[in-house]
Amino acid sequence: MTVLTRTLLNVPEALGELVVIIAVVAGFVALHAVLQRRFKTDVLRRHNDVAGYLFSAVGVLYAVLLGFSVVVVWQKYDATVSNVETEVDAAADLYHVVDGFPNQLRDAIRGKLAGYARTVIGVEWPAMAANRDVPDTGANMLDAISYSIDRFAPVDTREGNAQQAALRDQQRLFDARRERLIYAAPAVPAVLWFALIMGALSMVAFCYIFGVENRPAQLLMTAILVGLIAILFCVVYEFATPFSGSVTISSDGWSYFTQRLHDIR
């Protein structure tokens, strides 16, 4: 069963982030304009050679750090999407293979799987979107399913094969669920955010100590630099938390699974 998991864009939150970016750019540019009035261009230009060398060195280091952060969170986001699809596929496969179990046990396991899917959609996804702890309800359902499969005693080859396949799918489902909960946690630790913010402030500070004859052009360059860094900060933040924010992974895969339950044999 192949499921496409979509990325959803929360427009109000995205617009809010855009407003924040504009406000940050405006604030740094305004501060630069004030400093330009307080310091003469001729005084600042005396240090352009030294400042330019240091700016290049700091810029390379910061570009590596910021680029590395973007790549890491993007890889995590991509892996999270793949893992969500793996979890749905494992649940669908398990729902299918228990057809080889006795009717009563098969119906009980399928009912618990359907309940697990509804719990993921209605309880776990909202909790992850709000950065809250996920309740143990879903885990308890999977434990009950696992117990039913483990204690089942096959009486023929067909039931034995079904149990072996169910055990494999059950393990995939457990692993995918655990990874989903791990991926729901922010990927960027506080110390890295501190380094990113201090690096950004250092880059902007270098813009302030350059002396340029065309001051409006210098303000425009400052605005471009601050805007680019702010946008990349938003990218890092959004992809570091794949289930919350303005860019999120949808639960469409699970919804598709629940809609197709009557077609799975």
HEC per residue, 44-58:
HHCCHHHHHHHHHHH
Give the whole-number percent of the chain exceeding pLDDT 90.
57
Domain that holds residue 128: 7-261
Question: Which pTM value belongs to this model?
Answer: 0.82
pLDDT at 198 over 70: yes
pLDDT tens-place string over residues 135-190: 999 999 999 999 999 999 888 898 899 999 999 999 999 999 999 999 988 888 88
Residue at 64 is within a domain:
yes
pLDDT at 89: 93
Residue at 104 is within a domain:
yes
Question: Would you list the DSSP string of 238-261?
Answer: HHHSTTSSSEEE-SHHHHHHHHTG
Amino acid code (one letter) for 206: F
pLDDT at 14: 85
Residue at 2 is within a domain:
no
Number of folded domains that form the chain: 1
Residue at 184 is within a domain:
yes
Average pLDDT over residues 13-22: 91
Annotate 76-112 with b (16+ C-beta within 10 A) or e (fewer): bbeebbebbbbbbbbbbbbbbbbebbeeeebebbbeb
pLDDT tens-place string over residues 212-242: 777 888 889 899 999 999 999 999 998 998 9
pLDDT at 2: 45
Residue at 204 is within a domain:
yes
Q: Hey, what are 156's tokens? A: 């023929």
pLDDT at 44: 65
Confidence of residue 49 (pLDDT cuts 50, 70, 90): confident
Residue at 1 is within a domain:
no
User: How far is 50 from 47, CA to CA, in rounded Å?
Assistant: 6
Mean predicted lDDT score pLDDT of the chain: 88
Average pLDDT over residues 28-47: 79
Cβ atoms 211, 43 nearer than 8 A: yes
* Radius of gyration, alpha carbons of the chain: 27
Residue at 211 is within a domain:
yes
Confidence of residue 120 (pLDDT cuts 50, 70, 90): very high
Average pLDDT over residues 105-120: 94
User: How far is 102 from 106, CA to CA, in rounded Å?
Assistant: 6
Nearest to 176 by CA among 118, 260, 254, 245: 254
H/E stretch holding 7 reads strand 7-9
Residue at 78 is within a domain:
yes
Nearest to 125 by CA among 112, 135, 110: 135
